Amino acid sequence: MQKITSICEKMGVQSDECIPFGFYKAKIDLKMMKRLEQKKDGKLVLVTAINPTPAGEGKTTISIGLAQGLKEIGKHPVLALREPSLGPVFGLKGGATGGGLSSVVPIDDINLHFTGDLHAITAANNLLSALIDNHIYQGNELKIKRVTWKRAMDMNDRALRSIETPSRKDGFIITAASEIMAILALALDLDDLRTRINKILIGYNEDNDPVFVKDLGGADALVLLLKEAINPNLVQTIDGVPTLIHAGPFANIAHGCNSVVATKMALKLGDYTVTEAGFGADLGMQKFLDLKVPYLPKAPDAVVIVTTIRALKSHGKAEDFNKEDIKAMKLGLPLLEKHIENIKNFGMNYIIALNHFYNDSSEEIKVLLDWANERNYPISLCKGFSEGGLGMVDLASKIVEITNKESHLVHTYDEADLPRVKIEKIAKKIYGAKDVAFSDRALRQLDKYEELGWNLPICMAKTPLSISGSSKLVGLPKNFTLEINDIKPSMGAGFLVALTKGIMTMPGLNKTPRALEMKLDENGNLID
């Protein structure tokens, strides 16, 4: 690893803008953006994927590899990725630093406490909970009758989904799903952060009128906890590509993108910014384009959709995705084609990135490449895991060509559409649903929000494992109905969260979590 001060110097960050956290991590002061505000933005490349499977897709690995490939062909890329959450790190998913020769470092630091951002978000979230409960205890001047704000913790702990304190019933959500996380990821500066926090809905009073943080007070105290966390974090790939890792809202619950400020910073510092959106294109990509782009404001110049032969076989219901099974692979292709159709409907230029695994057969690779070429789908065979940047030169070269083509973003819905119409358009256009069924509770909520004039964008919360609302429906299901059970306002983030049936905002650990398998060497380093 190069010293982080050296990385800063090479990418044009001045010494008073670089805040080192040891030798290999740093925060970049947002004041840098003022200095570079007149500098032209570089190209923006968004990496997405088909719906995830147990076989793995390697979206982050491809993102890192693409940046390495761009460096190999003489470009100056900057990566902009999300921060890992401790819950998935110790659970099923694992870390979020790539893999093999396409990794960002220092791996354990990034995956664990990093620079303390998630701890700051958790503290700010729970300070607000404490202020609410204390206000009620001290006389409840605001006449709060129902509290909607929940506590947060950065760990998968299903036992905390519902709790009961001496004063009321409550519950925890995972920090990555909290509105504070979403706000930090969207805020443009400290003033915007304060404005958004003041807009947070904390509950309703005895007249069923909404109560906000601005009514309670304390916004500046929350900003105080977050004033360092809003500065993006800088690390590097194993071959020295600058990497901004900042904010990590879950894509199946929140909007699933790294921070606006980190992406804007990367666009000023590099000629190519490579960023990713969480989970599949139905969740992360749609939210990136409809919820994040308005704050950049720049749409991607190209979209990379990641797939693997293993994942296609998994969506084709293969009994063993590690064995050659061309029939199952072909059965998984309609899902990839649907995501391609969605990208085209957004008006975006794209390329398929086939993430190579060591046990992919040459015949499977040939069949997939032929399938794409016959349909004029641009595709690249990617070997970043095993070869680093050298294995990504083909994708990088094609991305340079694609980003020179014009694109024009077409949003999923119109800004003036009512919330229920926006939900229906997402379900039908993006997921391919036949219909949308709203619970009685959701319908009452929609009526209330329309009455209050809360005509906000929609952030869908659903399973990432299927393009539908059911994790059991793999591949490309037909004639399904999307069930909406709940609509929660995230007024500070600026959207309404529509929760599909069965979605959880506090995940649980799987039967054999990674935490039970972790081993350390004598120096306290994690052994792979």
The mean per-residue pLDDT over the stretch 226-232 comes to: 98
> What pLDDT band is residue 292 in, cutting at 50, 70 and 90?
very high
Can you state the angle between helices 179-186 and 219-226, rounded to 10 degrees? 70
Amino acid at 323: K
Sheet holding 201-205, edge to edge: 144-147, 201-205, 210-212
55 is in an annotated binding site: yes
Asked if 175 and 181 touch (Cβ cutoff 8 Å), the reply is yes
95 is in an annotated binding site: no
Asked if 12 and 35 touch (Cβ cutoff 8 Å), the reply is no
The mean per-residue pLDDT over the stretch 131-144 comes to: 97
The mean per-residue pLDDT over the stretch 270-275 comes to: 98
Q: How far apart are CA 482 and CA 514, in angstroms?
A: 32
Contacts of 259 (CB under 8 A, 6+ apart): 184, 185, 186, 187, 230, 232, 246, 247
Q: How far apart are CA 44 and CA 403, in angstroms?
A: 8
60 is in an annotated binding site: yes
The mean per-residue pLDDT over the stretch 230-259 comes to: 95
Lowest mean pLDDT among 87-101, 159-173, 325-339, 426-440: 87-101
Contacts of 212 (CB under 8 A, 6+ apart): 198, 199, 200, 201, 202, 491
DSSP string, 471-488: TT--S---S-EEEEEEEE
What pLDDT sits at residue 288?
97
- Give the N- to C-terminal CA distance of the chain in Å, as an integer: 19
263 is in an annotated binding site: no
The mean per-residue pLDDT over the stretch 63-75 comes to: 98
* Percent share of the chain, pLDDT over 90: 90
> How much is the mean pLDDT over the chain?
95
What pLDDT sits at residue 171?
95
> What pLDDT band is residue 93 in, cutting at 50, 70 and 90?
low
> What pLDDT band is residue 209 in, cutting at 50, 70 and 90?
very high
Instruction: Name the DSSP letter for residue 5.
Output: H
Residue 165 structure tokens? 């304190």
Lowest mean pLDDT among 82-91, 324-333, 350-359: 82-91
Lowest mean pLDDT among 21-25, 323-327, 520-524: 520-524
Q: Catalogue the E-assigned strands of 324-465.
A: 350-355, 379-382, 435-438, 458-461
Question: What pairs with residue 43 in β-bridges?
Answer: 272
Give the residue among 279, 300, 301 at the shortest CA–CA distance from 290.
300
Give the residue among 496, 505, 495, 491 at the shortest CA–CA distance from 445.
496
The mean per-residue pLDDT over the stretch 24-50 comes to: 97
> What pLDDT band is residue 510 in, cutting at 50, 70 and 90?
confident
> What pLDDT band is residue 495 in, cutting at 50, 70 and 90?
very high
What pLDDT sits at residue 301?
98
Q: How far apart are CA 373 and CA 74, in angstroms?
A: 28
> What pLDDT band is residue 401 in, cutting at 50, 70 and 90?
very high
Residue 329 structure tokens? 């692979």
Q: How far apart are CA 244 and CA 265, in angstroms?
A: 9
> What pLDDT band is residue 87 in, cutting at 50, 70 and 90?
confident
416-472 residue pLDDT tens: 999 999 999 999 999 999 999 999 999 999 999 999 999 999 999 999 999 999 999
Q: How far apart are CA 161 and CA 31, in angstroms?
A: 39
* Percent share of the chain, pLDDT over 70: 99
What pLDDT sits at residue 313?
96
Domains of the chain (ranges plus CATH)? 4-115+229-402 (3.40.50.300), 117-226 (3.30.1510.10), 419-500 (3.10.410.10)
Output 236 or 96, whichever has higher pLDDT: 236
3-state secondary structure of 32: helix
366-384 residue pLDDT tens: 999 999 999 999 999 999 9
Residue 305 structure tokens? 């959709």
Residue 331 structure tokens? 């059965």
Asked if 247 and 288 touch (Cβ cutoff 8 Å), the reply is no
Question: What pairs with residue 204 in β-bridges?
Answer: 146, 210
Strands 302-307, 350-355: pairing kind: parallel
What pLDDT sits at residue 167?
85
What pLDDT sits at residue 384?
97
Asked if 82 and 169 touch (Cβ cutoff 8 Å), the reply is no
Place of tokens 């933005």: 41
Position 94 pLDDT exceeds 80:
no
3-state secondary structure of 433: coil
Give the residue among 95, 482, 487, 422 at the shortest CA–CA distance from 286.
422
18-31 residue pLDDT tens: 999 999 999 999 99
Give the residue among 340, 304, 343, 317 at the shortest CA–CA distance from 57.
304
Position 528 pLDDT exceeds 70:
no
337 is in an annotated binding site: no
58 is in an annotated binding site: yes
